[in-house]
Amino acid sequence: MSNPSEAELIHMFKGIPFTIRSSPELLKSLDTFDAREDDVLLVSYPKSGTHWLAGVTAKLYNTQVTLTSPIEFGDISKLEELNKLSSKRIIPTHLDYNMLPPNFKKKKCKMIYISRNPKDTAVSMYHYYRDNPNLPTVDTWTAFFDLFVKGDVVCGSWFDHFLSWEEHANDKNILFLFYEDMKKDLPKIVKEISLFLGLNVSDNDIQDICKKSSFSEMKSDTEKENSDPSHTVCALTSNRRLIFRKGAVGDWKNHFTPKQNRRFEEIFNEKMKLSKMAKSLTYEF
């Protein structure tokens, strides 16, 4: 098979850009997906700490759980594959709330949404675009910045994604987390996750999980693991080396020009004016 051309790497579904790693047939079938009451969903916009959150969450269970690849990653056989799993499923996704299979909502499955300062998310995504052959080529940060603020990137507008989930922030089955808080006080967040999931985890175990889940520890684990293409928590690539880059808080300051920063803040203030959570995101803004 010849390499797909740039234009073919992305397709639109319900107005949102997806990579061809998410087949249109799969996306269309999500509506009928059979959720189970004990499914746990890990939700994020790309490059917001998905992998890190997944690593921590899976370690909290001492029973058999399966951390799947994202529900929208793959072709139509994906749903069959998920149905066959006998163990408890932890399912990552980058879908916005409106695209989520309705069964997850009906069955009130537990969902954890992790968010990150959108400026850092943009920078992280820029590097990802540059290193990932499954995504269109972006030559400069300036060009990528324009695409990001317009929402012309894979998974669509960061703002729309965040707001679609924030609308449900008070639902009892949804926990909102911030990447920066994980960086600042991981034990506190791990405790919060365990309580939310109804798991009885001792403080010693929490300390232990945190040790094994530091960013650098997980980065080196990921680089050591074999690159099994089906074993991915990110819907955009199966190359695990691309997952962890810097994980820094505030890296945007090394990329944004003052003019870009003003433009971003104007758009942020406009789009997020009704958001109650916007101020939690303005960490080192």
Stronger pLDDT, 90 or 63, i.e. the higher one = 90
Task: Give 1's pLDDT tier (boundaries 50, 70, 90).
Answer: very low
* CA distance to 99, 201, 214, 219, 266, per residue, from 108 (Å): 16, 23, 31, 33, 36
Q: What percent of the chain has pLDDT over 70?
A: 85
The residue ranking higher by pLDDT, 233 or 199, is 199
- pLDDT above 50: residue 2: no
In Å, the largest CA–CA distance within the chain is 53
As a whole number of angstroms, the distance between CA 239 and CA 210 comes to 25
Round to whole Å and give the CA distance between 27 and 71. Answer: 9
State the chain's mean pLDDT as an integer.
Answer: 88
The residue ranges of every structural domain in the chain are 9-281
Structure confidence by residue, pLDDT tens digits, 45-54:
999 998 889 9
Complete DSSP assignment for the chain? -PPPPGGGGEEEETTEEEETTB-HHHHHHGGG----TT-EEEEE-TTSSHHHHHHHHHHH--S-EEEPPPTTSB-THHHHHHHH--SEEEEEE---GGGS-HHHHHTT-EEEEEE--HHHHHHHHHHHHHH-TTS-----HHHHHHHHHHT-STT--HHHHHHHHHTTTTSTTEEEEEHHHHHH-HHHHHHHHHHHTT----HHHHHHHHHHTSHHHHHHHHHHS---TT--S-TT-S-GGGT-S---SSGGGGT--HHHHHHHHHHHHHHTTT-SSHHHH-TT-
Catalytic residue list contains 168:
no
Measured torsion, CA atoms of residues 42, 47, 48, 49, in degrees rounded to the nearest 10 = 70
For CA atoms 141, 73, 220, 53, give the dihedral sign.
Answer: positive
Contact 243, 48 (CB under 8 A): no
Place of tokens 């232990």: 208
Can you tell me the distance from the alpha carbon of 91 to that of 67, in angstroms, rounded to the nearest whole number?
6
202, burial (CB in 10 Å: exposed 0-12, middle 13-18, buried 19+): exposed
- Percent pLDDT > 90 in the chain is 73
pTM: 0.90
Catalytic residue among 51, 94, 161, 255: 94
Return d(Cα 203, Cα 273) in angstroms, integer: 39
9-281 homologous superfamily? P-loop containing nucleotide triphosphate hydrolases (3.40.50.300)
CA–CA separation, 25 and 67 (whole Å): 23
Task: Tell me the average pLDDT across 164-178.
Answer: 96
pLDDT tens-digit readout, 101-147: 999 999 999 999 999 999 999 999 999 898 888 889 898 999 999 99
Residue 217 has pLDDT above 50, yes or no: yes
